[in-house]
Amino acid sequence: MSILDRIRNLFAPAPAPAPRAMAAAPATPSVPIVRKPAPEPPPPPESPVARRTLDRHGQDIVALEGPMNADISINLAECRSLKRLPDGIVTGTLTLSDCTALEVLPAGLSVAFLDLAGCTALRSLPEDLRLRGGRLNLRDCAQLTGLPDGLGEVAQLDLSGCLNIQDLPAGLAVTSWIDVGNSGIRTLPARFDHVGVRWNGVAVARRVAFAPETLGHEEILAERNAEVRRVMIERFGYERLLERAEAEELDRDTDAGGERRLLRIEMPGDEALVCVSVRCPSTGHHFVLRVPPDMTSCHQAVAWTAGYDDPAQYKPVVES
Amino acid sequence: MIRNGPRVGGSASVEPYGQGERADMLMRQGDVFIETIDVVPQEVAERPLPHGTLVHGEVTGHSHRLEDLATGQLYAGRAPGELFLRISAPARIIHEEHGTITLSVGAYRVWRQREYTPQAIRYVVD
């Protein structure tokens, strides 16, 4: 048997009987597809030699039947009707993000990178799921209540938005970071002490994630990184921060992101802290940026942060 | 003394741009500002950058970047945080969280939002 024949055999369709919806399709694609509602002709078979990757993202697929052979990656992102995958998938990267109808994963799945972000119907992960050291992204898989014990090792674990996951299994090893933003995780066991903690994509100290009430307003306002400061304020509470700091409002208006406020906070023994509170028009995130103490209006302050000493010169036509 | 155009950084004086035929246009994507200018200055054109990343977020890993390197060339500016951009075909500046900004053929100056500290002015770090 030639090498080419062997490769062709690798991509041959499964010997199992074709599913009902395939009965009318005479061709034999490498991955038979069941479409809804009426069967359509399957796409032309692809060259088996080129099948290092499989990209069907955004397609109206209900079920994929095996075997699925793509040694590098399989991309099924935003296949919003997808409910079934074949057993025994072994690949490098499997992307199933925003497959919002997917309730279960197939048996025998072994991957390095598994992206399940936004799989809001996913109820559980199979007990035999094996991860090979890459990344498991479960962002906003809000129905999941836990992870299987035999997962193996991942470098990065994104549990942000997993409201109902409160514990991590004893058999799980994480080597780089865990994102616990808005998840049910309230603390991490000591065996994860070497692992970085993220809150919705921002690397933060453990205290920010798990004990925000212990942050002081001076500490928050002194944080150098604007994203970290934003998360600290979000965790501590914006209104609580202004109350604790006894902030005085100097001005208030609105821009593309919503309400803006210019605030003055007296700092004992130091120059007063004047900051402008703004919201990002794209993310809605709340930022508090320090400006010179002589600023008198929100527009003047924001223009200053953009580099304009003359606020009349600051007229952005696009803000995102 | 800067009368026109934004100041970049604490003390760096930057000459005003965008006073030619094309109307000044200022765009903002998060903490990054992009302004139309007439041409990329000669001194800057000698400092092309091998990448299309305008700004990379320290703690998020996100970046403001040219979607397709074939559509433009980035140059190192004259002050920290300043960049220049020459767009040769309609281009898109993308970011993981912010809306995309589309740029037409032309020259642009790029700089970052700044923030005040009692000791010095610094760029907004994200």
Q: pLDDT tens-digit profile of A4-58?
A: 444 444 444 434 433 333 333 334 444 445 555 555 555 555 544 447 899 999 9
Q: What is the DSSP letter of A252?
A: E
Chain B residues touching residue A319 (CB < 8 angstroms): 27-28
Q: Say if residues A141 and A121 touch (Cβ distance below 8 Å).
A: no
Residue A317 with chain B: CB contacts under 8 Å: 25-27
SS3 A262: strand
Please return the burial class of A53, using the count of CB atoms within 10 Å of its CB with bins 0-12, 13-18 and 19+: middle
Coil, strand or helix: which one is A305? helix
CB A68 within 8 Å of CB A56 = no
**What is the CA A165 to chain-centroid distance, rounded?**
15
* Contact at CB, A308 and B98, closer than 8 angstroms: no
- What is the model's pTM? 0.67
- In this structure, is the dihedral angle defined by the CA atoms of residues A128, A117, B126 and B54, taken in order, positive or negative? positive
Give the Cα separation of A149 and A84 in Å (integer): 23
Q: To the nearest whole angstrom, how far is the Cα of A144 from the nearest Cα of chain B?
A: 25
Count of residues in chain A: 320
Decide: A320 and B101 in contact? Cβ < 8 Å. Answer: yes
pLDDT at B120 over 80: no
Kind of pairing between the strands at A33-35 and A152-158: unpaired
Range of weakest confidence among A41-55, A186-200, A298-312, B95-109: A41-55
The pLDDT tens digits of the residues spanning A126-181 come to 999 999 989 999 999 999 999 999 898 999 999 999 999 999 999 899 999 999 99
Distances (CA, A) of A293 to A243, A272, A301, B6: 20, 7, 10, 19
Number of neighbours of residue B25 by Cβ within 10 angstroms:
18
Long-range CB contact pairs, A109-115, < 8 A, 24+: A115/A77
> Which of A227, A228, A307 shows the shortest C-beta gap to B6?
A307
Cβ(A285)–Cβ(B109) below 8 Å: no
Q: Are B116 and A315 inside 8 Å of each other by CB?
A: no
